[in-house]
Amino acid sequence: MIIIETGDITHCPDDVIVNAANTSLLGGGGVDGAIHDAAGPKLLQYCQKMAETEGVRCPIGDARITPAFNLPSRHIIHTVGPRHGIDVDSHRLLASAYRNSLIVAKKQGIKNIAFPAISCGVYRYPHDEATEIALRTCAESDRQDLQIRFVLFSADVFEAWQNTARTLELGSCVVVKS
């Protein structure tokens, strides 16, 4: 089941929350900054020790897992979305960010996962396109027993996702919580 709702992902008690990170995994603004602030300094220390090649710890479209430290969730999956209008093949890369996050979650036996709107802030992905990619990729996931939540930070983003979700005809697997 896929649930769309508003909220602050740093408050979510799900098994795993997903971070919209950058390739360094060393923090930034937006949801990445909020997650690092709430998780505490041990998250940054942990990320600094992760394998990297020329500053890249996670390529665009890929995903890495860490503990959640001071957050109520158990793990954080850090993924990197594409920069709209800059990164080539951004549709495929955004779908990969969701798909690879779900693959990492599956390997950990995770039962519920909360996503933010990856690439929809600083990376400027249009909400209608991002919503379609996110929902179709998650709906295609083979995990029937995985609960997926989209936790959207503001009322206008929630409304944009809600409106697009209703046009996609994904059936009863998508529930909008207003």
Q: What residues have CB less than 8 Å from 131, skipping those under 6 apart?
A: 117, 160, 161, 164, 165, 168
Contact (CB, 8 A) for 17 and 150: no
Instruction: Dig out the tokens for 40 from the structure.
Output: 């505490």
**Interface with ligand AR6 in residues 48-107 (CB under 6 A):** 81
Give yes or no for residue 34 binding ligand AR6 (CB under 6 A). yes
Residues in Cβ contact with 88 at an 8 Å cutoff, skipping those fewer than 6 apart: none
Among 95, 104, 157, 160, binds ligand AR6 (CB under 6 A): 157
Q: Taking contact as CB under 6 A, which single stretch among the options 48-56, 113-121, 135-143, 165-173 is the one that binds ligand AR6?
A: 113-121
**From 123, 150, 158, 161, residue interacting with ligand AR6 (rule: CB under 6 A):** 123
Task: Identify which range of 27-35, 49-57, 61-69, 105-113 contacts ligand AR6 by CB under 6 A.
Answer: 27-35
